[in-house]
Amino acid sequence: MSPSLPCPGPEIGTLVRDAEPRAAELGDPQVVRKRDIAREELVRRYRAAMVKGELKSLDPQIKLVVDELRRMNGGRLPKPSGGRPKDSHNRLSIWLAVRDAVDAGAPVGKALKDAAKARKCSASYATAIWYDRSEEWTRLKDAEISRRRRPRRGPEELL
């Protein structure tokens, strides 16, 4: 029985081809997905070489693609995707618990601690949620507030 060798990643030529599809191909969702995966892999390899101090020995094709991605991203390497998924529903429930407590007259600090305890998260996480001013988060909060203000309709009204 021969020892198993580690499986190498995709060939560089394949990654470069997939990372830069023709404009006519971009209508296909599978091509877009392959492009995103290839770009992530090339950036991952670039970062690994950068950390090791081996950028000079990195394949020039990888450098060209990553330099173009960097140029399109305002001079920065694209952030890697993945990681922990956004927990919007839980974040929204924490924010609403704090908002309801503050509306009822509780001080913000106490409302944050109570919401964190009730939702089983840290007070710093609840505080970060409460003070988050990002555009996406603000849109989500505003949509929930307007949904709550709408009068509820009974099943007979839906028909």
Distance from first CA to last CA of the chain, Å, rounded? 69
- pLDDT greater at residue 108 or residue 37: 108
In the prediction, which pLDDT does 1 show?
A: 40
pLDDT of 73 strictly over 90:
no
Q: Cα(76)–Cα(98) distance, rounded to whole angstroms? A: 37
Record the tokens describing residue 66, joined without a space.
Answer: 């990553």
Question: pTM for this structure?
Answer: 0.47
Distance of alpha carbon 79 from alpha carbon 68, whole angstroms:
14
144-158: per-residue pLDDT in tens?
A: 888 888 877 766 665
